[in-house]
């Protein structure tokens, strides 16, 4: 296979790894090991990697909120004010920085007054977007913001533009954030919260080109200008108003919204899901072969193209980069698990999804000056979830462990990596076999994350260290024993990180032996 140059700074084309047997069983003979070379430029810092790139998304969809997060105070499942203790503990362990709620498509059909006051008096509504089930509104504003405080995350509220009004949005913000003596602030106090909350992020609509109203960009841009006018800042709260941006390759939407409303927003959203299939005929989450492994990873790499084309348009109307890009929905989207409600979007999560997460984070890191927030879809029991629950049982997914391993990059200084990587070829297509990213934290420690996308071959990586004073490397590896290895309630620890001793530093050079289909994170000392 021919090596090709992949400048980590621009393309972000670093891939993730796949596994065909245990690490020991999968050891590849030296003659078969591929080689990658490059450098970590520790003396050329390139901006900060915001911790908010590691944000999450919890929609009233399937069993994400009900069962996954909220069980109620009377549940036998251990909880604090109705919120599952095991889920809170797991989310705190990955230092979740922000949480987006209540949607998604659900947001533009959600009326916040339904979810306040005594729960027995809250109206029951049909969830028209997701399965036609009844939402009791037991989990509303107070419960969500309690969850954010329990897990230590900043709240990101998605407001209702599709079926709501500017007055409704204005009142919700006052209810949550005003400290003075007003009817809405006093209503909040009557409902149990004296002090106002801080709401740093507020989305003015969601996917308004689709489920949020099927609007034309010109119409949405005018609505954004109107609604955002009433997104007031009270009592020292500072709002970052987020405009609805494109989904997929909708560059016309980006251009018109930026042109007509860019001066009134602090951020623009973008959504991208990894399918490698059609929306009407998605792939299964498990039971796949190498073709499906390769196809999903290749599709995940298109995140780079979507970001580049959006940022290029943003730069035309905002050349100084004041408006940030929030990729506030991303992840894999497969068929629902057999026997489950198709409207609940419940899917398994395998080693392949861990590779998608690692690859995606590396792309975000490369664009960290403009891309400052991202939210995986979704936190519990929906799509590329961190956590799966079944009654009192809880399982952490391979994707969860990537979030946990990559905490070292939170708010760290990005260090450029250049990489000449061999291709991973399947059929007549090829993608870079290796992806890498490096950062220096506030204590001066340097961390390097790698992903080997090749399904069957290890790759030996050699990187020159410039401006990095280190003599040893320690780390962990996430690798599995089959292409679709995943954790179940019967076998919850099949895929989890393990100590890694395949790296060393000598003569100013880091050498690493990356197993096939693996994610590795190192600390250089």
Count Cα atoms within 13 angstroms, Cβ side, for 10. 4
Give the 3-state DSSP-derived string for 138-194, with helices as H, strands as E and coil as C: CCCHHHHHHHHHHHCCEEEEEECCCCCCHHHHHHHHHHHHCCCCCHHHHHHHHCCCC
* Torsional sign, CA 242, 243, 245, 251: negative
Domain with CATH 2.60.40.1180 in the chain: 3-48+413-524
Q: Report the alpha-carbon distance of residue 180 to residue 248 in Å, rounded.
A: 43
Active-site residue, from 329, 366, 404, 513:
329
pLDDT tens digits, 239-250: 999 999 999 889
Determine the 3-state secondary structure of 366 from DSSP: helix
- Rounded Cα distance between 494 and 349, Å, is 12
Count of C-beta atoms within a 10 Å radius of residue 195: 9
Residues spanned by CATH 3.20.20.80 within the chain? 51-410
- Can 59 be counted among the known catalytic residues? no
Sign of CA pseudo-dihedral 3, 4, 10, 12: negative
Looking at the domain that runs over 3-48+413-524, which CATH code has it been given?
2.60.40.1180
The enclosing H or E element of 253 equals helix 251-261
Tokens 């939402």, located at residue? 135
Give helix 166-177 / helix 183-190 axis angle, nearest 10°.
60
Does the domain formed by 51-410 have CATH 3.20.20.80?
Answer: yes
Q: Is 218 a catalytic residue?
A: no
Plot region of 149 (φ>0 → left; ψ -120 to 50 → alpha; else → beta): alpha
Q: Is the dihedral of CA 329, 331, 337, 342 positive or negative?
A: positive
What residues have CB less than 8 Å from 131, skipping those under 6 apart?
62, 341, 342, 343, 344
Q: Locate tokens 């841009």: which residue?
A: 221
> What Å distances lie between residue 472 and 39, 46, 323, 469, 525, CA to CA?
16, 24, 41, 10, 5
In the chain, which stretches have pLDDT less than 70?
1-32
The CA distance from 311 to 399, in Å, is 27
Q: CA-CA distance, 286 to 350, in Å (whole number)?
A: 7
| Residue-level pLDDT at 248 | 81
Instruction: Give per-residue pLDDT as tens, 10-43.
Output: 333 333 333 333 343 343 333 467 999 999 999 9
**pLDDT score of 9:** 40
Q: Give the pairing type, strands 3-7 and 417-426.
A: antiparallel
**Residue 194: which residues within 8 A CB-CB, separation 6 or more?**
none
pLDDT per residue over 172-208, tens digit each? 999 999 999 999 999 999 999 999 999 999 999 999 9
Handedness of CA 77, 335, 159, 95 (dihedral sign): positive
The mean pLDDT value of the chain amounts to 94
Q: Which is catalytic among the residues 174, 207, 404, 513?
A: 207
3-class SS string, 257-319: HHHHHHHHCCEEEEEEEECCCECCECCCCCCCCHHHHHHHHHHHCHHHHHHHHHHHHHHHHCC
């Amino acid at each position: 296979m021919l090596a090709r140059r992949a400048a980590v700074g621009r393309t972000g084309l670093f891939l993730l790894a796949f596994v065909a047997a245990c690490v020991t069983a999968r050891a590849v003979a030296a003659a078969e090991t591929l080689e990658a070379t490059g450098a970590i430029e520790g003396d050329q810092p390139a901006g900060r990697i915001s911790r908010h790139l590691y944000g999450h998304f919890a929609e009233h969809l399937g069993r994400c909120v009900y069962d996954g997060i909220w069980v109620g105070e009377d549940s036998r499942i251990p909880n604090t004010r109705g919120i599952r203790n095991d889920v809170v503990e797991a989310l705190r362990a990955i230092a979740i920085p922000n949480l987006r709620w209540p949607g998604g498509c659900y947001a533009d059909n959600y009326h916040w007054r339904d979810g306040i006051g005594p729960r027995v008096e809250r109206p029951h509504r049909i969830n028209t977007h997701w399965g036609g089930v009844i939402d009791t509104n037991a989990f509303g504003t107070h419960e969500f913001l309690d969850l954010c405080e329990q897990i230590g995350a900043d709240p990101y509220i998605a407001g209702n533009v599709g079926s709501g009004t500017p007055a409704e949005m204005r009142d919700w913000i006052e209810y949550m954030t005003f400290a003075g003596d007003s009817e809405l602030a006093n209503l909040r106090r009557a409902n149990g919260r004296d002090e106002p909350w801080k709401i740093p992020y507020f989305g003015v609509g969601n996917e308004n080109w689709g489920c949020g109203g099927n609007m034309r960009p010109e119409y949405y841009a005018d609505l954004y200008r109107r609604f955002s006018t009433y997104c007031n800042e009270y009592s020292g709260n500072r709002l970052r108003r987020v405009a609805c941006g494109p989904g997929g390759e909708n560059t016309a939407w980006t251009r018109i919204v930026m042109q007509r409303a860019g001066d009134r927003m602090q951020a623009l959203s973008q959504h991208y899901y990894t399918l490698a299939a059609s929306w009407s005929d998605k792939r299964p989450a498990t039971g796949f072969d190498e073709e499906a492994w390769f196809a999903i990873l290749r599709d995940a790499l298109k995140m780079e193209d979507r970001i580049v084309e959006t940022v290029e348009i943003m730069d035309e109307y905002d050349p100084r980069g004041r408006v940030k890009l929030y990729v506030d929905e991303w992840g894999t989207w497969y068929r629902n698990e057999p026997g489950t409600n198709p409207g609940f979007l419940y899917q398994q999560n395998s080693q392949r999804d861990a590779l998608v997460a690692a690859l995606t984070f590396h792309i975000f890191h490369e664009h960290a000056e403009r891309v400052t927030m991202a939210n995986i879809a979704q936190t519990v029991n929906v799509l590329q979830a961190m956590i799966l629950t079944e009654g009192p049982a809880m399982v952490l997914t391979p994707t969860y462990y990537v979030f946990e391993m990559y905490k070292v990059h939170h708010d760290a200084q990005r260090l450029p990596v250049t990489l000449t990587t061999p291709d991973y070829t399947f059929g007549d297509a090829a993608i870079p076999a290796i992806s890498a990213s490096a950062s220096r934290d506030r204590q001066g420690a340097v961390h390097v994350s790698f992903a080997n996308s090749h399904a069957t071959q290890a790759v030996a990586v050699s990187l020159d260290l410039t401006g990095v004073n280190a003599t040893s490397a320690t780390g962990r590896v996430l690798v599995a024993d089959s292409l679709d290895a995943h954790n179940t309630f019967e076998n919850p620890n099949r895929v989890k990180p393990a100590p890694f001793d395949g790296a060393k530093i000598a003569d100013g050079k880091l050498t690493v032996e990356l197993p096939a289909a693996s994610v590795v994170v190192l600390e250089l000392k």
